[in-house]
Structure formats: C-alpha cells, structure tokens
Amino acid sequence: MEGNVKEKRPRFCVNDHVDILMEILKRLDGRSLCVSACVCRLWCTIARNDSLWEHLCFRHASPPPSSGVRPVIVALGGYKRLYMVCVRPVLSRLGRLRIAGDSDRDRRVWTRDGVQLSLSLFCVDYYERLGRLGGGGDASGGSSLMFLCKPVNV
C-alpha cells in the first residue's frame, strides 16, 4: 500500500476498456496505427484487428463499398494489406497532387471510382503474389505496384 501513496486515486487505465481503446485507435491514420502496435502487447493485438483497417480503408469513401466486397478482400489478403499496398500509396499520391490550398487532409473524399481502383490494384497484387508463390516469374520479385510509391515519368 505504502508504495502507492503518491498516486492519490487510481488513474484511468485505457487498457481496461478495450471498447474505448478501439474507438480511439479507429480514429488514427494508418501510420499512427502502426506506431500504436508497438506500444504494448494489448495494443499490438488490437492494431492487427482487421476491422480497424477496414474502417481506415474506406472511411473517406462516399458511398462506402457494399458489404459484399468484404469476403473478397479477406480472401485476397485482408484489409491491412489492402491499406498498405493500395490505399495508402494512392492516397499519398492524391495528397501530393493537391498540396496547394488543401490544409484539411481528412476532408478528402473517395468516390466509387477511387474504391474500384484500389480494389483492382489489390487484385493485381494478389495475382502477382500467386505467381511468386508458384515459383514462376523473375527472381527480382518486386511488386509492379511499386510504381504507386515512386514517381513515374510518362
């Protein structure tokens, strides 16, 4: 007891309220969600929860994709992968294109076309991984979707 004297009252511990913690993490961007995964074991487990990534992938989408795409995305590798491989690079590219005058990043809205594009890219990513798993293709191995991350001269 004596050791706890300096703590006058029990401080609220967010780790005792997983539902609240989920609500907070749901409001972070992908980068901060990855930082969160390194906070402690509990946060690490929660930050791997695909429902958080599902929310993150399409929270800017209007209208959001129908629930029918969920099984497809899960089968192709899940929402975290979708975010990392397709949504994030596309979003950051769009962000670079409209730096001027766009201070509010969260206002960015994805149309149905944006969603369709990211899903198509995800299919490409899956197809390439299939090829690599089968031992086919060249040994250099890099995903052709890397063009999303690097500037391309056309």
Partner 1 sequence: MSSSAENPTLTTEITKPSTEIATETAQSAKKINLKTSDDQIFEVEESVAMEFATVKSFFEDAPSSTDTVPLPNVPAKPFSQVIEFCKEQIKFKANPDETEKKKSNSEFVKEKTNEDLVEMIPVANYLEIKDLLDVLNQAVADRIQNRSVEYVRSFFGIDNDFTSEEEALLREEHAWAFEDVDED
Taken in order 67, 71, 73, 79, is the CA torsion positive or negative? positive
30: Cα separation from own chain's centroid: 5
Q: How far apart are CA 149 and CA 129, in angstroms?
A: 18
At 73, give phi and psi (nearest 5°). -65, -40
The answer to whether the CB of 143 falls within 8 A of the CB of 137 is: no
Length of the chain: 154
Q: Is 104 in the site for partner 1 (CB under 8 A)?
A: no
CB of residue 39 to partner 1, shortest distance in Å? 5
Within positions 78 to 97, which residues make up the interface with partner 1, using CB under 8 A?
none
Q: How far apart are CA 90 and CA 93, in angstroms?
A: 5
CB of residue 135 to partner 1, shortest distance in Å? 26
Q: Which is nearer to partner 1, 8 or 135 (CB)?
A: 8
Taken in order 99, 115, 87, 138, is the CA torsion positive or negative? negative
Which of residues 2, 5, 6, 11 is near partner 1 by CB under 8 A?
11
Residue 135, token pair as written in the block: 């031992």
Q: Is 146 in the site for partner 1 (CB under 8 A)?
A: no
Q: Is 17 in the site for partner 1 (CB under 8 A)?
A: yes
CB of residue 53 to partner 1, shortest distance in Å? 13
Span of 38-46, 68-76, 115-123, 139-147 interacting with partner 1 by CB under 8 A: 38-46
Which of residues 43, 53, 79, 122 is near partner 1 by CB under 8 A?
43
Chain residues in the site for partner 1 (CB under 8 A) = 9, 11-15, 17, 20, 23-32, 34-41, 43-44
